[in-house]
Amino acid sequence: MDTKVYRINEKDIDIIDKAAAVIRRGGIVAFPTETVYGLGGNALDAKASKKIFAAKGRPQDNPLIVHVADFDVSRYVKNIPHKAMLLMEAFWPGPITIIMKKSDIIPDTVTAGLDSVGIRMPENRVARKLIEASRVPIAAPSANLSGKPSPTTIEHCIEDLTGKVDMIIGGDRSEVGLESTVVDTSEDKITILRPGAITLEMLEEVVGEVFIDPAINGITDKNVVPRAPGMKYRHYAPKAPLVIVKGDKNRVVEYINNKVKESTEKIGVMATDETCHMYNVEHVISIGSGKNPGKIAANLFDSLREFDKIDIGLIYSEGFPEEGLGMAIMNRLKKAAGYKIIEV
C-alpha cells in the first residue's frame, strides 16, 4: 500500500479534508493527539476497524477507543452515568478516556466484543479538526505496531506504519507523551483501568472515591483478569531487555556502575539530567530532570525507541516516584521492563 505522508499543522485544512475523505471512504489514517499519535478509522464501520487491527498486528481481544469532537455522545452509549458527565465536563477535551455501556451503533469489532465503549475527546487541534471534517467518530488505538512503544512523533509513525496505512499526518510532538487515563464509569465504582496524565488525585476531586484496577501493577496472580484487555500485553518494549533499579539515588548509580564493570555486554542507562554524568557508560540517555515528571512522561517512549537504534544487550533505568503523574510513568516503565525491578 502506498502511504501518503503529510507534515502539517492545524492550519493545513486542505490536507485535513483529504484525510477526512480517506476516513469516510473506509481508509485508515495516523494522526497526532496530545497523548500519543493515533491510527484512526470510521468508528461506525466494522471494516475500517478490522483494517486497524491488521495494520498494527493488534490482538483481536483488545478494544479501540472512540474519539469525538462533540460533547453529545448519547448516540454511542446506552446511558451517560452522572459521574461520567462530571468527568467529561472537567477534563474534556483532554487525556482521558471514559468507558460507558455501548449502544448498538458501535460495531462489536471496535469494542472487541465488550458491551462497553471507551470515548475520548482529544485536545489536539489537528485531531479535533479531523474528527469534525470526517463527520463520524474515529476509532483509534495508538499508531504503533503492537508491542512497540507508542508513537509520540510523526517519525515514529512513519517507522512503524509505512506501507500499512493510507495516510500519516502530523508534525508536532505529542506533548503529554503517555496514553490517556482510562476510567471505567460503566459500573457503580469508578475505576482507573490505565493511569495517565489525569491523575487519581484529579479524578477524586471531581467524583469522590476512585478505585484502581489491580492489573495496572502487573499481573502476578493468574486469577486477576485486567478489565482493560490491553493491559495484559507486554508493551512499550525496547528490543533489549530492560531492568528498573529503584532506591536512593547514589545507591542506584553505584549498583548500575558495578554491573557495568562486571558485564561483558554493552549496557545502556536511562537516567535523569541530575544523574546522567555519574555513570561510567557510553550509552546514557537522560530522560529529563527528575524534578519535572511532565518532561519525563513526554520523553519516555522516545527514549525507549532511541535505545533500539543502538546495538546494546541490556538497559538499566532509574525508577521514579509513583505519586501523581509518576503512577502513569512507572506503569509504562514497569511494563516495558516486564516487571523486572531491583530495589537497592
Nearer to ligand TXA, 203 or 231 (CB): 231
* Shortest separation between residue 287's beta carbon and ligand TXA, angstroms: 20
What are 158's three cell numbers?
Answer: 512513519
What are 108's three cell numbers?
Answer: 462489536
Rg over alpha carbons for the chain, rounded to the nearest Å, is 20
User: How far is residue 155's CA from residue 143's CA, in Å, rounded to a whole number?
Assistant: 11
2 Cβ contact partners less than 8 Å away, ≥ 6 residues apart: 163
* Shortest separation between residue 149's beta carbon and ligand TXA, angstroms: 11
Q: Is the peptide bond before 81 cis (omega within 30 degrees of 0)?
A: no
Residue with the three cell numbers 473506509: 26
Range 130-149, binding Mg ion (CB under 5 A):
142
**Of Mg ion, ligand TXA, none, which one sits near residue 173, judging by CB under 5 to 8 A according to partner kind?**
none
Residues at the contact surface with ligand TXA, assessed by CB under 6 A: 33, 35-36, 38, 62-65, 97, 99, 111, 114, 116-118, 120, 140-142, 179-180, 182, 193-194, 227-231
- Closest-by-Cβ residue to ligand TXA is 230
Size of the site for Mg ion (CB under 5 A): 1
Helix axes 154-161, 293-309, angle to 10 degrees: 40
* Shortest separation between residue 271's beta carbon and ligand TXA, angstroms: 26
User: Is 331 one of the binding residues for Mg ion (CB under 5 A)?
Assistant: no
Nearer to ligand TXA, 16 or 114 (CB): 114
* Shortest separation between residue 227's beta carbon and ligand TXA, angstroms: 5
* Shortest separation between residue 272's beta carbon and ligand TXA, angstroms: 25
**Of ligand TXA, Mg ion, none, which one sits near residue 63, judging by CB under 5 to 8 A according to partner kind?**
ligand TXA
**Of ligand TXA, Mg ion, none, which one sits near residue 332, judging by CB under 5 to 8 A according to partner kind?**
none
Applying CB under 5 A, which residues contact Mg ion?
142
